[in-house]
A and B are shown apart, each in its own frame.
Chain A
C-alpha cells in the first residue's frame, strides 16, 4: 500500500509541476462551457422573418406591424403561397416564417380563437429556439392588446414547427457533451500519454525490474486523473447551474456516480492505448481518433444520432460517450432516476469491464 501511495504522490508531483498542462486541464472545461454558453444565450437582433399572410386584413396588418416594430426582427419577404416556404429557407432569405391563415380574422372574430404558425430553420437549433421565443412573445403581446378592447377573451394559438431538426436537440445538449469531451481528454489521452512517457524516458524499464506489480504502476497513474476529472465534473456542473441556468433536475448523486463510471471507462481505454503504443505521438493520435472524434461526431452531441445513415448509427453504439451523453441528458435535463438510465448504465459497465480486462491482458511485464 505504501508503494502504491508513493506512486500516486509521484504522479501528483508530475501533474503539479507541469503548470501549463495543469492549467489547460482545469481551464478547458470552463472555457468550453463558457463558449458554448455564450453561443446559446447570444442575443438575436434584426433576424430576418418572412411572412405568409393569407388573410391580408386589419388584424394581420396590425400583427405584422408589431413584428416590424420589434428590434428583434426585420421582415425580409412576403410570401405568396405555402410552396415558397421551403425555397425561402434554402435561399437563406429568412430564419423564421410566420404563417397567417386565410381565416385568421374571421376565426378571431367569430370563434374568439385563431391559429398562427411559426416555422423555424432549426438546423441552428439555438438560434431557432430564441427566435421562436421572441416571436411567440410578440404574438402574446398582441393578443393581450386586443383583449383589452374586447369583452370576450380571444386566444391565438401559436403552432410551432421546427424544420430540419424536429426534436430541437442542442438546447441543453452542450453541457452533457462538454462533460463527455473533457473527461475523454483528461482521462483517455492524459493517462495514455503519461504511461507512454515513462516508456520513452526509460523509467518504465527500471519499474519493471523492481518488485512492484506492474498493475500497481498503471493504476497509480490513473488515480490522479480520476481525481482531476471529478474536479472538472464539479466545475462544469457549477458553471451550468449558476452561470448558464441549466438546472440539474435529477439526483446529483446519480449524476456524479454515472460520471465517475464514465471516467473509469475513459481511463481503461487510456490504459489500453498505453499498453499498445510506444510513443507519445501514437498514443495521442489513437486517443484523438479513437475517442475524441467519435465523441464529437457520433455521440449525438453535435449531430442527432437518429438522422445519421445506418452504418454510422450502428458504429455509434460502440462509442461509450454516446451512452454517457444519453445518461447525463436524462438525469440532468429530464430529471430521470436510475430506472430511466439503467440500460445505458449497464452498457457502460460492460464496456468498462471489457476495456479494463483487455488493458490488463495486454499489459506487458517485459519490454518488446
Chain B
C-alpha cells in the first residue's frame, strides 16, 4: 500500500554540470521506520538528503516526502519534516528555553503549545536546572540530545539526522539512540546518516550509497548474510572499497 511509504523515490537524479552526484536512486521508507542512510564521503548522501528535504531540486526522477512532491510542494515538505545535523543545531548564545521557543515559533506553534511542550521536554531530558543557561555552556552530548528534541518539537512526520552523534561520548551516544527509539515509537520516521557502523545495526533498514547509487538496501541482518560478513562494518567496507569516484 503506497500510503504506508513516507518517502518514495524513483530514479531520483542530481547532476552538477557533467558530474552525477546522485545517480537514479529508487527506494522507499516505511512509516515509523528508523532508516540508516550510509555511504563513504562523497558518495552523494548529502546531495540526496538535500533533495529529500526540499532544499535542492532534482535534475530528474520522482520523489515524494510525506505524500508531497519534491518539485512542487517543497513548502509542505518543510512543514512536515525536522532536521538536525552535527554542525548546525542550536544557537549557542541563546538559552535552552529561548532556543526551544524560537524553533517552536518558526513552525507557527501556539504559545500555549510551546509552553506546555517545553516543560515536558525539559523534564524528559532532565534539563530543568539548565533551562535558562546558554546552550554554549552545555556539554556536547547534552547539546545534541537537545538539538534532536528541538528538531522533533513541532511533531514532524519525518526527522532527518545528519551524523548526529559525531564526537559524542559512548554513554551519551546510547542515550541519544534511546531518544531516537522513543521518537520512532511515537510514529516519527527517522532518516539518519552516521559514521559509526555499530549504529547502523540499530536501524530497521540500512541503505549504502556508492558513487551516487544505492548499492545495498535491507535490514542489517539480511545485509550481513548477503555479504557473508560478521558486522555492518565489514559490509560497508566491502561496498565502499568498490567506489571508483575519488572526488566530491
Give yes or no for direct A-B contact (beta carbon below 8 Å): no
